[in-house]
């Protein structure tokens, strides 16, 4: 028994995770969320970075309180809240709250972060997935050389880069609304990066249209969107989607969770191809 619990506990599975096993722990009148998962070097995921980012996010007022983080298990405060959907994130009502949340992450996290910090460089991650997939005899091997050529083109087009502290996983499921404010959770991939990766990930994960993307960029940067910014943004958005495709391809081979990743691979491949067509026209 963890030293955290006061007595007998009730454990209820919490659905929705693509990487970790999650549970709601009820201990008397108090509820917690338990996330269970170790290092996943094949995904460039190291728990010391996740834990350090979770503590910094708590101190920055972005995420729930962390009560315990050892031995592959993290226990955080349970927030009575609504988990956002993609439609919620796309709505003006929520997006005008999400942009300040992202800005606060980018601006404030370094002020609260202690110890070694990771960098999340999507172009390196894609190259690493390429090598890892080939070593495991992926059925998608025929696609990979083209993906590597695209990755090199996107890395050149996305620069120059500003560097901030990013969440790097702006899925709707990682944003909670408690009725008063928004919370940002799950810092598995948190690390220093360009803000365009978070912006591109927010848009690609939640199916933004061009008008919504333009509004997002104008409000994040508080200035009109130039052609140069839009091209760099589209390059980074494509890279975020390409990385998601390869993440899912590898998860098909390595994940021990009871999840069929093949439909997710197909969905993300379609999103990437549509985004890349737009990039080529920009």
In a domain, 2, yes or no: no
d(CA 218, CA 196): 13
In a domain, 1, yes or no: no
Q: Where residue 158 falls among pLDDT bands split at 50, 70, 90?
A: very high
DSSP type of residue 45: B
More confident residue, 188 or 17: 188
Lowest mean pLDDT segment, chosen from 138-142, 197-201, 278-282: 278-282
d(CA 187, CA 239): 20
pLDDT beyond 90 at 40:
no
d(CA 188, CA 52): 10
pLDDT value, residue 150: 98
d(CA 233, CA 219): 14
Q: Please name every residue paired with 221 in a beta bridge, in sequence order, or none if there are none.
A: none
- Dihedral of CA atoms 169, 170, 171, 175 in degrees, nearest 10, equals 120
pLDDT value, residue 5: 75
**CATH code at position 125:** 3.90.1200.10
For residue 216, CA distances in Å to 96, 99, 141, 202, 271 come to 8, 7, 36, 10, 19
pLDDT beyond 90 at 49:
yes
For residue 260, CA distances in Å to 137, 209, 248, 264, 270 come to 18, 28, 10, 8, 17
Tokens of 5: 């619990």
Tokens of 112: 């609260």
pLDDT beyond 90 at 144:
yes
pTM of the model: 0.93
d(CA 184, CA 61): 9
Domain coverage including residue 172: 82-281
**Same domain as 217, residue 181:** yes
**Same domain as 109, residue 175:** yes
d(CA 164, CA 156): 19
pLDDT value, residue 3: 67
pLDDT value, residue 258: 83
In a domain, 237, yes or no: yes
**Same domain as 276, residue 168:** yes
In a domain, 151, yes or no: yes
Lowest mean pLDDT segment, chosen from 1-15, 121-135, 148-162: 1-15
**Same domain as 153, residue 43:** no
pLDDT beyond 60 at 1:
no
**Same domain as 159, residue 37:** no
H or E stretch covering 14: strand 10-14
């Amino acid at each position: 028994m963890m030293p955290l619990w006061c007595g007998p506990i009730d454990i209820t599975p919490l659905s929705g995770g693509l990487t970790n096993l999650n549970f709601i722990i009820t201990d008397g009148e108090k509820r917690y969320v338990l996330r269970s998962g170790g290092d996943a070097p094949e995904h460039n995921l190291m728990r010391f970075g996740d834990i350090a980012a979770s503590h910094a996010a708590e101190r920055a007022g972005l995420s729930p309180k962390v009560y315990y983080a050892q031995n592959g298990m993290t226990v955080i405060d349970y927030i009575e809240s609504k988990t956002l959907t993609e439609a919620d994130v796309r709505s003006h009502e929520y997006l005008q709250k999400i942009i300040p949340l992202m800005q606060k992450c980018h601006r404030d996290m370094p002020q609260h972060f202690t110890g070694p910090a990771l960098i999340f460089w999507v172009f390196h991650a894609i190259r690493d997935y390429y090598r890892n997939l080939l070593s495991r005899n992926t059925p998608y091997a025929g696609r990979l050389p083209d993906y590597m050529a695209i990755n090199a083109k996107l890395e050149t087009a996305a620069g120059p880069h500003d560097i901030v502290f990013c969440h790097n996983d702006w899925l709707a499921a990682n944003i909670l609304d408690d009725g008063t404010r928004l919370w940002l959770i799950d810092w598995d991939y948190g690390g220093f990066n360009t803000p365009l990766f978070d912006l591109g990930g927010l848009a690609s994960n939640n199916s933004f249209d061009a008008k919504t993307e333009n509004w997002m960029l104008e409000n994040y940067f508080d200035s009109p969107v130039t052609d140069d910014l839009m091209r760099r943004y589209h390059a980074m958005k494509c890279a975020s989607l390409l990385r998601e495709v390869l993440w899912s391809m590898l998860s098909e081979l390595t994940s021990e969770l009871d999840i069929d990743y093949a439909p997710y691979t197909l969905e993300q491949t379609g999103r990437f191809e549509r985004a890349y067509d737009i990039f080529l026209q920009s």
